[in-house]
Structure 1
C-alpha cells in the first residue's frame, strides 16, 4: 500500500475529516510555494493538491484559470515547479494535478524519475482516460506515487467499481457537472452517488468542485471521507488573505 493511501485511510478510520486544499503552483510566484505549503500544513491539511499551469485547462473554472494565467505570466513551467519541489521538505503529502500534455512534453519517464525526488505522493490527470492509464502505471509501480482516479456524476454506475479498484491514494468524486468554482448548486442525487462510491471503494472518497463553506464540508462528510477545496483557497491566497485560509481549514478539520 502506498503511503498516501495509508495516511488517508488512517484518518478515515479515525473518523477525521480529510481536507485537501488546492493551490495553483506559481500563481503568487514560485518563491512563495514553500511558504504556501507550510501555511496549509500548519492549518491541518491532510494532503495538498498542486495545480500545474496549462494553457487549455478544461476542468478549471474562472478563479483557477486566472491563477494559472498569472503563473504562466510568471514563466512558471512543470519543470520549474519540480525543481522547486526538490528543495521543499514537508510532512504533508503533495499531489500534483496536471493535464497530460505537459507530462508528455516533459517526457513520461523523465517526469516520474524527477517526481520521485520530491515529496509528491499523488498524481491527478483529469484528461487521461482510464483506458490509457497504462501509459503511466508501469512507470509508477515501483514508486510511492499514487495515480488518483476521478469519478464523475456521469460515470455509469457499473463502471465505478472498476475505476476505484485501479486507483490509489483516494478517489476524487467530482460533485458537479462542469468546471471548478464556488457557488455551485448540487444535484439531489449527489449524496446517494457519493455514498455508493464510498461503499464500493476501500480507499477514502473525497468530494471536489464547488466546495467553499463549512456547511458544504459538513454535508459531504455524511456520505464520504472528506473534501477537496480549490477556488476558495486560490481566491483568498490571490488576495493575500493567508490568515483567512488558515482559519477556514482549522475550523473545518476540527469537526
Structure 2
C-alpha cells in the first residue's frame, strides 16, 4: 500500500472525508513555499498536491498560471521541486505528496530518471493532466511499477463509453473535475456533482475526490458530503499570490479543511 492508500484506509476507519490541498512549488519563492507546505498537515490537509511549474499550463486558469510564472521567474526547477519534497520528508514521513502538472518537464528529464528521483524524494503519486490513457505505457505503467499511484482525471464530459478507459490503470483515487473549463473558472455545485460521483463509484472501488470550483469552507463541506473528499487549489494559491503571511494562508487552509471534514 502507498501512503495514499493508507491515508484513505485511515479516513474510512475514522468515517471522515479527505481534504486535499494544491500549492505551486516555489510560489512565491522557495523558502515561503516550503514553509506553507510544511504547515499543511497541521492545518488539516490529508494529501498534498504539489504543482510542478510549467510554461504552458493548459488546464489551469489565470491564478495558477500566474503562480507557475512567479515560481519560474524565481528560478524554480524540477530539481528544486524535488528538493522541497526531500526537505518536507525530513520532518514528515506520513503525509502523501502527489506531483501535479504536465508531461513536458518529465519527458525532458527522462521518465526513468524522473521516476527514480521522485521515489527517492518521497513522492507517492502523479497527476499528469495531458497524458491520456492511450499513452499509459509512456508514464503511467512505469510509475506504478516504481510504486507510485497514477491518478486520472474524469470530467463532466467523460461519458459511460469513455469512463472504463479513464479508470483503466488508475490508482490511489479518481480526481473528478467538477466543472468544464480551467481551474478557478466556475463554482462547483453539489447537486451537479453527486450523480457524477455516484456514476464513477459504480464503476470503481477507488475513492473519488472532487476538485475545481471549490473556494470556501461551505462549498468544501457540500462537495465532500457527496464524494470521498475534495481538492482546493486556486483559492489557496490566490491567498499566496496576494502576499498573505504563511500563518494567514494556513489559517485559510484550516478553515477549508474543517469544512471538508464536516462533509
Given candidates 131, 152, 155, the residue that maps to 1:152 is 155
Q: 1:248 to 1:182 in 2, by over 3 A?
A: farther
Report the 3-state secondary structure (helix = DSSP H, G, I; strand = E; otherwise coil) of the residue aligned with 1:167: coil
Deviations 1:109-140 (A, max 9, x none): 10001001122101000000111011123422
Query: Which runs of structure 2 are paired with 1:6-155 in the superposition (5 Å)?
Result: 6-89=6-89, 90=92, 91-155=94-158
Q: Does 1:245 align with 2:252?
A: yes
Deviations 1:193-219, CA, capped at 9 Å, x for gaps: 122112322111000101111222222
Deviation at 1:252, TM superposition (A): 1.9
Work out the CA distance in 2 between the residues paired with 1:57 and 1:49.
15
Counterpart in 1 of 2:197?
A: 194
Partner Cα separation in structure 1 for residue 102 and residue 96 of structure 2: 20
Moved more, 191-200 or 111-120: 191-200
- Measure how far apart 1:243 and its partner are: 4.5
1: CA distance between counterparts of 2:125 and 2:148?
Answer: 5
Query: Secondary structure of 2:126's partner?
Result: strand
Go from structure 1 to structure 2 and tell me whether the alpha carbon gap of 1:106 and 1:83 turns closer, same or farther (over 3 Å shift).
Answer: same
Match 1:227 to one of 208, 212, 230: 230
Structure 1 range deviating more: 13-22 or 202-211: 13-22
Gaps of 5+ in 2: none
Q: Deviations over 1:207-244 (max 9, x none)?
A: 01011112222222232101010011111122313243
- Structure 1's 56 and 11: CA in aligned 2 closer, same or farther, altered over 3 A? same
Deviates more, 1:83-92 or 1:70-79: 83-92
- What's the Cα RMSD here? 2.0
1:87–1:188 Cα change, 3 Å: closer
**Structure 2 CA distance for partners of 1:206 and 1:138, relative to 1, 3 Å:** closer
Q: CA deviation at 1:52?
A: 1.0
Q: Distance in 2 between matches of 1:34 and 1:11?
A: 26
Question: Which among 220, 239, 246 is matched to residue 236 of structure 1?
Answer: 239
| Larger deviation, residues 195-204 vs 184-193 | 184-193
CA contact (8 A) 2:210 2:224 kept: no
Higher mean C-alpha deviation, range 36-45 or range 141-150: 141-150
Q: 1:138 and 1:251, CA in 2 relative to 1: closer, same or farther beyond 3 A?
A: closer
Aligned residue pairs total: 255
After TM superposition, list the pairs within 5 Å mapping 1:207-218 onto structure 2.
Answer: 207-218=210-221
Q: Give the whole-Å Cα distance in 1 for the aligned partners of 2:219 and 2:256.
A: 13
Shift of 1:172: 0.4
C-alpha change, 1:189 and 1:235, in structure 2 (3 Å) is closer
Deviations 1:26-50 (A, max 9, x none): 0121122331122111011110001
